[in-house]
C-alpha cells in the first residue's frame, strides 16, 4: 500500500433512475453495497466507507452490521464509515460496536465521526439538535476514554454517569480504531480533530476549494498548536465525486439526467457550473486524474482520497464499471504521482499494523494515546469549548480575508 489510501464511500440513498423511472428496492441497494465493496477490493482500492442514516430515502441504519459482513467477504479492504453519528449514538455503544468490528476484521477498521445532516434524527434518539456541537464534544470525550481506560468513571451533561465501567471487548492489540472527524462546514469539528491529534476528513464534494483550503489549514495549524507535530504532519482526508466514460461528451450526456434531479444538488446549478465550483469531475479518467491531483495544491500532502460513485440513482452495473475504471486506470496513476511529489516527513495513511508498532515504540499500547502533548492543553470540556470558540474565530477571520 502506498503512503495514500484511495477508496469509495456511499451515503446509501435510494433514488429513482431518471432514465428508466425505476427505483431500486432497499434489498437491491444493500446487496449492491456488498458487490461494490468486493469490486473495490478486487481492483485494488484501499477503503470502503458506509454512511449512516435513520430516515428514508436512505437505508444504512446499521453500518457495523454491513461492514462486519463485508469483513467476512474481503481480506484486505479497510472498512470505514462515511459518517458515524457521534451526536445521536450512545458513545458506549459506539465503543463496543467498533471494537468488536476491529476484532472481526483483524484491525481493518476506522471510522469517521460526524453530526449528520438530518435535523429530525435528534429527537428520534432523545436528543436536541440545538445541543449538536456540545453532544459531539462530550460524546467523543467519553468515547476516547472508553477505548483507552480499563475502568471508566465519568459524569457529563447529556447521559447518565458511568461508575467503574469497563467497555468490552477492549480494542484489538490495545490500540483503538483510528478516528477521523468529518465536517463539511463546522470549524469546531476541525478543532476537535486537532485537539485529539486525530484525522480530519473534509468531505468537500459540495464546496469550493477556497472553503476546503481554509478548513484544512485551520485543522493543521491547531494540530500543531496542541503539540502533535508540524502542520504538515496532520492527517487529512478529502472527498470527491466522479463519473467517467471514454470521452467527456459521452460522460456528460450519460450523467446529466442523474445530476439534474439528484436529491442533494439537483434543480440547482448546471452540471458545468457545479464542476467549476466543486471537485465533481464528469469526463475521462485523465480528467479525473488531473483534477484530483490539483487537490494537493490547496490541501497539501494528504492521506486519504475517497470518491462518491453510486449517488443519484445510477444503476449498479454502471457503478461497478466506475469502480473498475477507478481501480485500474485512475488510482494507479494517482498513487504514483502523489508519491512522487510528497514532501519528506509527511506521515503515511494510518493502518492498524503501523499504529500498533508505534504504540509499542511509544510505550502507550493499551493506554493513553492521542492526548494533547502540551501541558496547558488538558482535555476539559470547558477548555475544549473555549478553544472551539478560538478556532471558529480563526476560521471566520480566514473567511473574511
Domain parsing of the chain, residue ranges: 5-400
Beta carbons of 17 and 315 less than 8 angstroms apart: yes
The pTM (predicted TM-score) of the whole model is: 0.92
On the question of pLDDT at 56 being above 90, the answer is no
Beta-bridge partners for 241? 308
Report strand pairing: 162-165 vs 152-154. Answer: antiparallel
**How many other C-beta atoms are found inside a 10 Å radius of the C-beta of residue 26?**
13
Beta carbons of 39 and 328 less than 8 angstroms apart: no
Query: Hey, is 242 helix, strand or coil?
Result: strand
Q: How confident is the model at residue 117 (pLDDT cuts 50, 70, 90)?
A: low
pLDDT at 380: 44
Superfamily of domain 5-400: Luciferase-like domain (3.20.20.30)
pLDDT in tens, 17-48: 999 999 999 999 999 999 999 999 999 999 99
pLDDT in tens, 165-204: 999 999 999 999 999 999 877 899 999 999 999 999 998 7
Distance (Å, rounded) from C-alpha 177 to C-alpha 280?
30
Spell out the residues 6+ positions from residue 195 whose beta carbon is closer than 8 angstroms to its own. 222, 226, 372, 377, 379, 384, 387
Q: How confident is the model at residue 244 (pLDDT cuts 50, 70, 90)?
A: very high
On the question of pLDDT at 322 being above 60, the answer is yes
Sign of the dihedral through C-alpha 169, 171, 172, 173: negative
pLDDT in tens, 261-314: 887 777 889 999 999 999 999 999 999 999 999 999 999 999 999 999 998 999
- The C-alpha cell that represents 137 in the structure block: 464534544
Amino acid at each position: 500500500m502506498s503512503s495514500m489510501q484511495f477508496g469509495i464511500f456511499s451515503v446509501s440513498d435510494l433514488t429513482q433512475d431518471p432514465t428508466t423511472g425505476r427505483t431500486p428496492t432497499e434489498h437491491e441497494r444493500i446487496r449492491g453495497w456488498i458487490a461494490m465493496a468486493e469490486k473495490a477490493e478486487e481492483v485494488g482500492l484501499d477503503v470502503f466507507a458506509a454512511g449512516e442514516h435513520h430516515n428514508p430515502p436512505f437505508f444504512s441504519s446499521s453500518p457495523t452490521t454491513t461492514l462486519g459482513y463485508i469483513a467476512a467477504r474481503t481480506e484486505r479492504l479497510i472498512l470505514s464509515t462515511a459518517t458515524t453519528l457521534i451526536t445521536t449514538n450512545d458513545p458506549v455503544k459506539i465503543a463496543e460496536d467498533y471494537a468488536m468490528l476491529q476484532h472481526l476484521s483483524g484491525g481493518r477498521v476506522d471510522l469517521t465521526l460526524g453530526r449528520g445532516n438530518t435535523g429530525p434524527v435528534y429527537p428520534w434518539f432523545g436528543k436536541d439538535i440545538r445541543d449538536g456541537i456540545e453532544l459531539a464534544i462530550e460524546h467523543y470525550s467519553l468515547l476516547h476514554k472508553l477505548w483507552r481506560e480499563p475502568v471508566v468513571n465519568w459524569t457529563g451533561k447529556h447521559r447518565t454517569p458511568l461508575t467503574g465501567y469497563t467497555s468490552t471487548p477492549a480494542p484489538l492489540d490495545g490500540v483503538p480504531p483510528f478516528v477521523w472527524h468529518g465536517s463539511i462546514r463546522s470549524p469546531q469539528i476541525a478543532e476537535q480533530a486537532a485537539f485529539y491529534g486525530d484525522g480530519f476528513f473534509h468531505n468537500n464534494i459540495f464546496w469550493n476549494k477556497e472553503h476546503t483550503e481554509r478548513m484544512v489549514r485551520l485543522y493543521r495549524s491547531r494540530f500543531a498548536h496542541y503539540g502533535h507535530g508540524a502542520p504538515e504532519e496532520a492527517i487529512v482526508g478529502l472527498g470527491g465525486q466522479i463519473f467517467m466514460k471514454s470521452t467527456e461528451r459521452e460522460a456528460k450526456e450519460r450523467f446529466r439526467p442523474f445530476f439534474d434531479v439528484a436529491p442533494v444538488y439537483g434543480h440547482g446549478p448546471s452540471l458545468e457550473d457545479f464542476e467549476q465550483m466543486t471537485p465533481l469531475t464528469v469526463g475521462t479518467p485523465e480528467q479525473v486524474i488531473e483534477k484530483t491531483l490539483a487537490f494537493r495544491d490547496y490541501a497539501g500532502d494528504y492521506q486519504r482520497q475517497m470518491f462518491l460513485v453510486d449517488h443519484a440513482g445510477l444503476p449498479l452495473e454502471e457503478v461497478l464499471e466506475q469502480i473498475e475504471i477507478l481501480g485500474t486506470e485512475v488510482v494507479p496513476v494517482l498513487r504514483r504521482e502523489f508519491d512522487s511529489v510528497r514532501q519528506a516527513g509527511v506521515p503515511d495513511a494510518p493502518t492498524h499494523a503501523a499504529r500498533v508498532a508505534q504504540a509499542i515504540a511509544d510505550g502507550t499500547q493499551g493506554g493513553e494515546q492521542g492526548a494533547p502533548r502540551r501541558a496547558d492543553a488538558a482535555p476539559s470540556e470547558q477548555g475544549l469549548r473555549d478553544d472551539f470558540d478560538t478556532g471558529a474565530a480563526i476560521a471566520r477571520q480566514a473567511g473574511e480575508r
